[in-house]
Amino acid sequence: MISKIFGIKNVRSAFYWMLVALLIQQLIAATSSIWIVEFVRIVKDSGAWRLPFVLFLLSMILPYLPGALALHFMNIWNFQAQRDAVELYVKNTVGRVELYSNQNLKSKQIVQMSKDVPQFINELTQFSYNFLSIILNFSLQVMAVGFILGLHFTMSFLVGISLMVIYIFMATRRNKSLSMEKQKAISLLATEVGASWENLTLANKHNLGIWSNCLKNCLALLQNATKRSSFAKEFGGALISIIGFMPVLLYFYLTILSGGPTVYDLLTTSVLMPRIFQIFNSCTTLILTINHVSFVRGQWEALKSSFDDLENCKDDLASRIIFSEMNVRNNETAETFKLNSMDELLALLDTAQSGWYTIMGPNGCGKSTMLLYLKRLCGSTGFYLPTNFSLKFLSLEGKKYSTGQKAAYALTEIATIKGIKTLMLDEWDANLDQSVIVKIKDILAQMSKQMLVIDVSHRQ
């Protein structure tokens, strides 16, 4: 389901254009190595150096344009994914009144749509951009430098990269273990800080001494874990570059032993050395980025599961209604009667085109559930107004009113909506002053002349 958000089955055109722009950017950047070497060769031979020099300068400047376009298309893709996520959420939620009282699902979906989904979309689009940029830069730069320095250099280069890959994947498990150790120490410290308030403010000598010792132990654990983790990370990063560079250095050493490089070879190598370092750094970043894929996949699966929960959530409202515990009062005649079945409830809806009926009964008998079921039956001709609602009304936009004032303004606006045949109110009189209740009753009495009003109350 979540694949629809990112257009996995029908990839967004913005993603294609981002990929094309990145390819153009990295192709131009890769040619800079060729033009600078050509410039050095021509200068050495006292040739016409201006053209390769201009081309080199252009290859250094022009990549910024397709790079800006790639970022532009990445942002468009990001927006399209955000929009599709909202549309999917609306599609899976609208009109499903059985979800209204599911507070766990509600809180989960609101947090997901307001925080988790936007954050994940931002991370995934940025990750995709960075990953594609790095892999294109690495591949094209290796091809360009290999084209200039020859097959043997390329082979030594690839051997170095292979050694880097092996070392990184071997070190990943160790680094993960150290990271977990540090995180555990942070959690223990957080626990002790959480228990600090009473121990510090009351300052009972016995309790304060125990807490201080626990705090000291936690700080010692965190210090040790931080040192170990930092050493493994920082020195490990340096070791990665050394391991990768060893085959290249060995190649240069063997080249010197075999007869020595020419002046042109030395110039070329000197010019390309910063680019070679850049390629090794790109390789390291690429491998670490690949390791990040599992984290992104985990987020993906979590969001997919949440969307599936929303789509597949089922609730049989009718089974939760206990008719035997309910009474219905006709507020015009003060007559009270029972509805013994769902059929009698539907018959009431068919026969009563107007009037005001109150459903009464104890907590747990399904009064609010009955209103939700009626809303489902009525569809767009029914209007459900819950207690302490957050529904959007034009008369309430940008204004702050009390609960009673909100209800009064909302009912006044509902009365002007064409096509409403049934109004359902859930505990509208809860926690209201008597004067406000009287005012709203007058509004409902007027509305009951043009539509059927059904409300729920605990009051008998």
Domain segments of the chain as ranges = 1-147+293-315, 150-260, 317-457
Percent of the chain, pLDDT > 70?
89
pTM, rounded to two decimals: 0.67
pLDDT at 293 over 80: no
Please state, rounded to an integer, the average pLDDT across all residues of the chain.
80
* 156-159 long-range contacts, CB within 8 A, separation 24+: 156/247, 156/248, 156/250, 156/251, 157/247, 157/248, 157/276, 157/279, 159/247
Percent of the chain, pLDDT > 90?
8
Residue of higher predicted confidence among 269 and 398: 398
| pLDDT value for 164 | 79
- Average pLDDT (360-375) is 83
pLDDT band with cut points at 50, 70 and 90 for residue 303: confident
pLDDT at 246 over 70: yes
pLDDT band with cut points at 50, 70 and 90 for residue 20: very high
Residue of higher predicted confidence among 10 and 289: 289
- Average pLDDT (40-67) is 81
For residue 287, how many other CB atoms are within 10 A of its CB? 18
Residue 419 sits at φ, ψ, to 5 deg, of 90, -5
pLDDT band with cut points at 50, 70 and 90 for residue 9: very low
- Average pLDDT (49-65) is 84
pLDDT at 401 over 80: yes
Sheet containing 327-330: give its strands across.
335-337, 327-330, 355-360, 452-457, 422-426, 382-385
C-alpha 330/C-alpha 460 separation (Å) is: 12
Taking only the tens place, the pLDDT of each residue in 72-107 is 999 998 888 888 888 888 888 888 777 777 777 777
| pLDDT value for 18 | 93
| pLDDT value for 395 | 87
Write out the two tokens for 83. 């929009």
Residue of higher predicted confidence among 30 and 280: 30
- Average pLDDT (146-153) is 77
pLDDT at 357 over 60: yes
| pLDDT value for 261 | 61
| pLDDT value for 223 | 92
- Average pLDDT (163-181) is 79
Write out the two tokens for 7. 């257009």
pLDDT band with cut points at 50, 70 and 90 for residue 437: confident
| pLDDT value for 137 | 82
Tell me which range, 199-208, 271-280, 352-361, 414-423, is most confidently predicted by mean pLDDT: 414-423
pLDDT at 388 over 90: no
| pLDDT value for 220 | 93
pLDDT at 458 over 60: no
| pLDDT value for 1 | 47
Residue of higher predicted confidence among 422 and 326: 422
CATH hierarchy code of domain 317-457 = 3.40.50.300
| pLDDT value for 10 | 44
- Average pLDDT (273-295) is 68
Helix crossing, 293-312 with 64-93: angle to 10°? 30
| pLDDT value for 8 | 45
pLDDT at 136 over 50: yes
Residue of higher predicted confidence among 239 and 280: 239
